[in-house]
Amino acid sequence: MVKLLAANCVLKPSQRRQLQSWLKRAIHLGERMGRFFLTITVQRVGRFFSMQATVHAAAGDFDCRCKGQTWRDVCRAMVRTLAVRLHSQRLAFDAL
């Protein structure tokens, strides 16, 4: 399950759809582990965007944070970080 929270900025529906399509790999990895919950919070801090993700999965829990000047840069960094962390968790989970 994925929950997207916009703290003090308004996300357009196209931005939500774009983020969901970028998160497909991370969501697939998380669902294969089981009990997967992803909460993403987006907020503006001055001229910058800040994104914070909290992941709960069967293999363990972790948090990620990214900052950047544009919404797209922050989303790309967050998606990349989530996919790498979930992949390493999945490998450790399968080794048990």
In order of their start, the domains of the chain are 2-95 (3.30.160.100)
CB 38 within 8 A of CB 15: no
pTM above 0.75, yes or no: yes
Which residues is 62 bridged to in the sheet?
55
Q: Is 72 helix (H, G, I), strand (E, B) or coil?
A: helix
- pLDDT for 36 equals 93
Q: Over the chain (96 residues), what is each successive 10-residue block's mean pLDDT?
A: 90 93 94 93 94 94 95 95 94 84
- pLDDT for 22 equals 95
Tell me the C-alpha to C-alpha distance, in Å, between residue 90 and each of 7, 17, 19, 28, 57: 30, 26, 22, 11, 10
- pLDDT for 68 equals 95
- pLDDT for 93 equals 84
The DSSP code sequence of 4-36 is EEESSSPPPHHHHHHHHHHTHHHHHHHHHHSS-
- pLDDT for 57 equals 92
- pLDDT for 94 equals 83
Listed residue (96, 89, 95) closest to 33, CA to CA: 89
- pLDDT for 30 equals 92
